[in-house]
Amino acid sequence: MNVDIQRLMGEIERLATFSDAPAPAVTRVLYTPTDLAARAYLKSLFAEADLELREDALGNLFARWVGAEPDLPAVGTGSHTDAIPHAGRYDGVVGVLGGLEAIRALQAARFRPRRSIELLMFTSEEPTRFGIGCLGSRALCGAWTAEMLGRLRDSEGKSLDQARTEAGFSGGLETVRLPENYYSAFVELHIEQGPLLEQENLPLGIVTAIAAPASLIVRLSGQGGHAGTVLMPDRRDALLAGAEIALEVDRAARASGAPDTVGTTGIFKVHPGAINSIPSRVELGIDIRDIDGSRRDAVVSRVVAAVGEICERRGIGYEIEWMNADPPAQSGEEVVRALEASAQELGLPYRKMVSRAYHDSLFMARLCPTAMLFIPCKNGWSHRPDEYASPEHIEQGVRVLARTLARLAE
């Protein structure tokens, strides 16, 4: 089987030029003109490979290589191409363009799949625009209903419905959910986004479970005022309550009893943001994860209790908006076995591992047996412009993916 790694690297490079940040950074946010231009480029590549294209009402993009028995549930592969602000060029992209290259390699080898093989580009795996990640896959598996999606607003108050309509995606959101038995299996190729494979000098990781993410927005309202004239006993400073909450997130995650618990306050917006003005309003974005869902929930509960206590003590009003609290996902054994057999055939060593980042596979696992294949990335860096995966590792990942798809589609 011939993987054309030069063509693939060229396409990865070209896709990175669709960006709202100067190179090497990549910023590609849902439904922006840049995102739509990148989608048009991808569609042209998929069509050149003779794949049947379909887009749903959210903009999930399906490209199908029709199998000899087209009525059988298909084998799915794919990932996302949206990129958080100032990200790199490999996160998600390797699974989409690498999936395409795997299909082209199988086509060139004159493989004839019995089941259709479908490449998926998910809408908005990243939470950048609407505050919630895995938008497309949440809707595909029915974890989020049309009504829940209908409530989403971006930071400018624009609804998801309006934004998708302006981007040219119409039709009812209730049509996005996939029917049962649509896929027989799903497999996602992705960079590891962590350091383990590189540290252990391994080219491949086979994911057996995906950690459970939860996120919440906490809005605090205190009393603004002049930084010189309001004396300390009279202050109700929303930033200080926020600072205490952020420290509590860190403490609660560290105290969970397991190194698998992580807590991050990644958003801290201060209003009015003037050096001589007491912060009156603060918004925190908090992300808490664990491979054990109930341990994660215990940490979330501790944080929520602390928000109440801190705000009461400081005379601060608060509101908590739950964004998500998803259970972890277990990989499908048959997909893991197919990945292992393919890696073994190619003589490539691997380890089994947990994904601490979430991926659309977290939700695809609700639809069908699902697993992920990780390749190393330099220093474990991701979500930054210097994210890097070598052509050699990408090629090995694509080879294993191609064999795995062939196995699953036979």
Binding-site residue ranges for Zn(2+): 80, 91, 126, 190, 383
User: Which one of the spans 24-32, 86-94, 175-183, 257-265 is the region binding Mn ion (CB under 5 A)?
Assistant: 86-94
Return the residue of 67, 133, 203, 369 that touches ligand GLV, per CB under 6 A.
133
CA separation for the pair 251, 307 (Å, rounded): 13
CA 71: distance to chain centroid?
Answer: 30
Return the residue of 56, 126, 161, 290 that touches ligand GLV, per CB under 6 A.
126
Which of residues 91 and 101 has its CB atom nearest to Mn ion in the complex? Answer: 91
Asked whether 198 and 337 are in contact (CB, 8 A), the reply is: no
CA separation for the pair 359, 367 (Å, rounded): 14
Q: Does 263 bind Mn ion (CB under 5 A)?
A: no
User: Which one of the spans 58-66, 85-93, 222-230, 293-301 is the region binding Mn ion (CB under 5 A)?
Assistant: 85-93
Q: Does 92 bind Mn ion (CB under 5 A)?
A: yes
Site for ligand GLV in 357-396 (CB under 6 A): 357-358
Which of residues 18 and 122 has its CB atom nearest to ligand GLV in the complex? Answer: 122
Which listed option, Mn ion, ligand GLV, none, makes contact with residue 92 (CB within 5 to 8 Å by class)?
Mn ion
Among candidate residues 403, 301, 297, 389, the one with its CA nearest the CA of residue 348: 403
Q: How far is the CB of 249 from ligand GLV (least distance, A)?
A: 16
Beta bridge partners of residue 287, listed in sequence order: 215, 264
Site for ligand GLV in 62-81 (CB under 6 A): none
Q: How far is the CB of 21 from Mn ion (least distance, A)?
A: 15
- AA letter at 250: D
Q: Does 91 bind Mn ion (CB under 5 A)?
A: yes
CA separation for the pair 116, 310 (Å, rounded): 55
**Cβ of 365: how many Cβ atoms within 10 Å?**
25
Q: How far is the CB of 162 from ligand GLV (least distance, A)?
A: 25
Which of residues 288 and 409 has its CB atom nearest to ligand GLV in the complex? Answer: 288
Which of residues 194 and 222 has its CB atom nearest to ligand GLV in the complex? Answer: 194
Asked whether 116 and 74 are in contact (CB, 8 A), the reply is: yes
CA separation for the pair 53, 55 (Å, rounded): 7
- AA letter at 382: S
Which of residues 183 and 358 has its CB atom nearest to ligand GLV in the complex? Answer: 358
Q: Does 131 bind ligand GLV (CB under 6 A)?
A: no
Residue 407 vs residues 149, 296, 299, 379, 403: alpha-carbon distances, Å:
36, 36, 41, 32, 6
Q: What are phi and psi of 60, to 5 degrees?
A: -60, 135
CA separation for the pair 238, 235 (Å, rounded): 9
- AA letter at 23: A
Give the total of residues touching ligand GLV (CB under 6 A).
Answer: 4
Show the binding pattern over residues 182-221: x = contacts Mn ion (CB under 5 A), - = does not. Answer: ----------------------------------------
Q: How far is the CB of 188 from ligand GLV (least distance, A)?
A: 12
CA separation for the pair 312, 318 (Å, rounded): 9
Which listed option, Mn ion, ligand GLV, none, makes contact with residue 78 (CB within 5 to 8 Å by class)?
none
Among candidate residues 141, 39, 20, the one with its CA nearest the CA of residue 84: 20
CA separation for the pair 305, 310 (Å, rounded): 9
Q: Is 112 helix (H, G, I), strand (E, B) or coil?
A: coil
Residues in binding site: 80, 91, 126, 190, 383
Beta bridge partners of residue 117, listed in sequence order: 65, 75
Q: How far is the CB of 383 from ligand GLV (least distance, A)?
A: 7
Q: How far is the CB of 27 from Mn ion (least distance, A)?
A: 12
Which of residues 357 and 373 has its CB atom nearest to ligand GLV in the complex? Answer: 357
Helix axes 33-48, 93-108, angle to 10 degrees: 10
Q: How far is the CB of 199 from ligand GLV (least distance, A)?
A: 20
Which listed option, Mn ion, ligand GLV, none, makes contact with residue 118 (CB within 5 to 8 Å by class)?
none
- What is the contact surface with Mn ion in residues (CB under 5 A)? 91-92
- What is the contact surface with ligand GLV in residues (CB under 6 A)? 126, 133, 357-358
